[in-house]
Structure 1
Amino acid sequence: MVLVMQQLPLVCLMLLLLCKDPGVGAQRFSLHQPQDNVLVAAGETLTLNCTVSGMAVVGAVKWLKGWGSENKTIYDYRTPSSFPRVIRAVRGSDTDLTIHIRNVQPEDTGTYYCVKFTKNDRGEDVLFQRGRGTEVSVQAKPSPLIVSGPEQRVRPGESVPFTCTTGGFFPKEIGVKWFKDNVPIRAQQPQITEWKDKTYNMSSTVMVTLQKNDVPSHVTCEVQHSTLLAPLRGSFQLSRVLRVPPTVEMRAEPSSVELNTTVTFTCLMKEFYPPNVSISWLENGKEMKVKNLSRLLELSRGLFQLRSWVAVQAMEEKNGSTIACVVVHDGQAPANYSAVLWITNVAHGDLILLGLGILLEKALFGGVLYYLIKRKKSKALEMLPYPVPPHSLAPRAWSQGMATASSDV
């Protein structure tokens, strides 16, 4: 009994010291932040675990993103309404400090710390204990692909670049493939650059040589990323940049042109794209108002065909006239296709050569020939050798017409 009474002051002294010095009790305080790394998809909810145990210590509890001068308060248990995206996992708990961050985005990537503060002599918050930190990576899907091509149309045989871009993805690793009509084509290595808030952008380019039959074709960019359940695909229609100039044929019918007959000049435009084309007709450089146009015909592989024609009366004053078809395709420089109208049986003096040829074959040699020469004074007959056999002038030599075509492309 005496011994107990002697030790009582010592126990009271120890209790007194314990109550006056919070640091002694704080040695039993423990903060546990178990997660080292967390991977979460953008738009999902991030859970950060933190628990405490031991004796209570006066002071605030916060979640910080980053450490040092650039840290940012993510949640303060004293003012929860100031952080609308963050909620506590167990409300009102003194030991479970786990939080949920809703709708995380790539900019939420970083290292998070669960921190316990205490008060100094001036009543200020000072660090008491912190967790070891949880590194958070926010997986972000690539944005929809943008596939672009040349700004101007090009002719078949030219090699042109097509570019595929996407951005805002994490992690950095990404795969890119190119196809032309589902056939793989080789492309340059993609260029990957770091963007803001730990995300990345990608650009890939492929060179494609356009062909005449590429109107219905397309190039496709395919992107694979760890965040995607299926690859992203974006396409570009080659018809948007392809220009196929028309192949033009100039015709005149009938081929044998006689005086006062009608000859039809036809301009046939074949295998062209795009279909916008304008046609005009000229006679000796002057526009002809009477013209006809066929229905636009679509051929295989998306090309087009069009026919235009004009009728000309083969009058004597039109002999030697130039008939031109002027084609303007897709706003390009005009292409001129022309033919010359030759009329074979045009009158020379008082004679028509075609009639003369027939007469000579039927008439008696001698007196009739002499009579014609003397009466008509035909210069054409004066150039004939004398005597001339009746069969030497065949009607065909005078009656065949001719239309020649030329192109000034």
Structure 2
Amino acid sequence: MALRNLLHPSQLLILLFQLLGVRGEMTRVIQLPVTLLVSAGEEFTLNCTVRETGQQLEDHPVRFIKNVQLSKQRTGLVPKFHADFSITISTAGLGETYDCMKYEKGGRKDMQEATDVRGQTQEIIQVPETLSVSTGGELTLHCILMGSGSPGGVRWYKGPDRTQPAIYTQKDASPRVTRLVPESPTDFSITISNVRPEDAGTYYCVKYKKTSGTEVEETAGKGTMVSVIVPPNVRVETYPPPPVHLNGMVTLICNVEHFYPNVINVAWFMNNKSKMGTDEPMIKNSVGLFSLKNSLVVRATEEKNMSIFTCQVRHNFQPPINQTATLIIRPYTKEDCLLYSYPTGLWVGLFLSKILTGFFLLCLFLRKEHSKTTPGCRPGSARESGASKPSA
């Protein structure tokens, strides 16, 4: 790309999404997030979900409208019985706005009569229903208030228990929790920073109303289930440790520790050539994290000297993690040859002779100590006893 075609970083694309629907209580068109920020020229995805309870979706098309004008090149028609009408646009333009519109029969005429989703009752929209995030990253939970309702606060809870402390209220929040759009009266989405394994769970956005000076629950979202991806710690060890003797057997062990979920694949490569290892049973610790070992046994032949063995771990469709070990082979020395040239029987004989010599020396020591402590055994003891006997 020529330099003249490069955009300044400040030339970013802001796409504004609106929550739009049709007349009646049977249809809901949901676009989240409300605001999307991408660089010009990048690919981006427009999310659109339709809730329809009284009609078949195939009879009423859904189209994306660009800048309030129908975009023929970027039109998505409804698949049968499908509620997700998200589309992907490969090249972002500058300053574009897209609306996901639900049509009645008759097409564009009815599109112009589409009204806001706001009805007489209040509803909380939480999408998507499931999310995955890696440890250390950021987690965004969406909560949109739709319709009209009584004034009151919104709280976020982890789990269905409303008696536990909320992780966010409009007056108080955890230090890691921030409001995504602080001034919005309808968007109460939050971001949790520095995600930890214990952040996994289902989160609920709950709307309260004031009654007689107290707050009671008015409505709640259906919840967003969050899975926290904990990448594994990977290390490779060899037994025996290098350098190893020529033609000896070597076991390479790949330790894959403390990961979640347990969707994992372990592969071995020797100088980029695939090798088959053996998995040991996976174990789970007290906090729900998994570990396993995979072993590869090789013979340390001369051609394998200085070969690089790589343990490649793929966890939960994330980029692979690679750890390596180098096989260093030590040839036999003259001392090694002398050591291993003696017959086995000779080594056994030498070992037994050492044991017998030690046993003999121990007996001599014990006999000497015994003679010191037994008076009747001392030389001259009988003579001394007779001399002290009185004469008749």
Taking structure 2 as the reference length, the TM-score comes to 0.48
Taking structure 1 as the reference length, the TM-score comes to 0.46
**Which one has the largest radius of gyration?**
1
Higher strand share: 1
